[in-house]
Amino acid sequence: MRFRVVIPARYGATRLPGKPLRPLLGRPLVQYVYENALASGAERVVIATDNERIRQTAEAFGAQVCMTSPEHRSGTDRIAEVAALEGYAADDIVVNVQGDEPLLPPALIRQVAEDLAAHPAAAIATLCAPISDPEQVFNPNAVKVVTDQQGYALYFSRAPIPYDRDGFGAPLRRGGLAGDHMLHIGLYAYRAGFLQEYVRRAPCPLEQLESLEQLRALWYGHRIHVATAAVPMEGGVDTEQDLARVEACLTKRSASRD
């Protein structure tokens, strides 16, 4: 199956400036992301950035780079520009791999692309995983998703959805969950034609309220298919503590191969 990967890489992250270039075991963080994307079987992997230092670093380790506008407000906007500049066909599948996910399994990149290919009614495919920790259900930084019986998204929220009217409160005391709660994993596959329509649409009220851009697609009537991740996914990098955690994980992996 043919698909492309675009990696939006922004230098000016608020909490961790220069994040894509931060070293992990002597290599820039974005290099791990790029190599995982290559390992997914994508026919083309592109780093999309507006920063010259990122471009130079990426090209030095052999990456393909597309320079994009500094005016983009989201990674989706940046990916849409790449799709337009490179002339992707409307039905081409493009996977958005965030530039701060050095531990992202290649299998998940391929899974989300294959899931979109298998669901022609969907404009987007994404992934989820069961939540076992009750605290995560109530954590607004953990995005939850509810789907219909065919796996199409009904809604995404930072709130605890579905809301267990009779059970919430008790699950926290007994250490379990009464209902089925799914954590949204922010890995997306898009149809290239949809991307061009998406960026022309104004942000919707729900998107602005929840600060979740995928709600724009639902608001305008597009379908999002959600599959359960085939393998576990480690967290990305947002802080210095995350960098230390990821480096420890990479060190452990390296030692196990030796």
User: Residue 127 in 3-state DSSP?
Assistant: strand
pTM given for the model: 0.93
Contact 59, 161 (CB under 8 A): no
Q: In 199-220, which positions are buried (b, 16+ CB within 10 angstroms) versus exposed (e)?
A: beeeeeeebeebebbbbbbbee
Q: Residues 56-62: contacts with CB within 8 Å, 24+ apart?
A: 57/20, 57/21, 57/28, 57/30, 58/9, 58/30, 58/31, 58/34, 61/27, 61/28, 61/31, 61/34
Q: Which CATH number fits domain 4-238: 3.90.550.10, 3.30.930.10, 3.30.420.40, 3.40.50.10190?
A: 3.90.550.10
Residue 189 is which amino acid? A
Give 6's strand partners.
46, 96
Peptide bond into 17 cis (omega under 30): no
Contact 40, 2 (CB under 8 A): no
With tokens 């009217």, the residue in question is 165
3-state secondary structure 130-169: ECCCHHHHCCCCCCEEEECCCCEEEEEECCCCCCCCCCCC
pLDDT tens, per residue, the chain with 258 residues: 899 999 999 997 777 889 999 999 999 999 999 999 999 999 999 999 999 999 999 999 999 999 999 999 888 999 999 999 999 999 999 999 999 999 999 999 999 999 999 999 999 999 999 998 888 999 999 999 999 999 999 999 999 999 887 777 665 554 566 568 999 999 999 999 999 999 999 999 999 999 999 999 999 999 999 999 999 988 889 889 999 999 999 999 888 776
